[in-house]
Amino acid sequence: MRWRLTWMFAVSSRCARALQDVNDAIEELQKAIFERQGVKGDWGIKCLAVVNTTFKTDAEFLSRFYSFVSKCVGNPKLPP
């Protein structure tokens, strides 16, 4: 039983590290997208966090916002 718990902890730790690596990679890609648009990456990431916090109860706004973001990511030029 002790071996099994140790093994489960090791697998869990590896999964947590892998997830953190994926999250870090996504954040770096988001920063690069902001930089490409002429916005400082760290500032852009902070603004995204504020949107989720400020409008977390407004499902319609968040749906439209993420629709807008997905269109912008697919199109290199941001709409005016």
Helix (H, G, I), strand (E, B) or coil at 38: coil
Mean pLDDT of the 62-67 span? 86
**Segments making up each domain of the chain, as ranges:** 2-74
The pTM for the full model equals 0.57
b/e map 19-43, b = 16+ CB within 10 Å: eeeeeeeeeeeebebbeeeeeebee
Tokens at 7, concatenated:
């093994």
Average pLDDT value for residue range 33-41: 88
Q: Convert the pLDDT of each residue in 12-36 to its tens digit.
A: 888 888 888 888 988 898 888 889 8
Q: Which helix or strand (DSSP H or E) is residue 39 part of? A: none
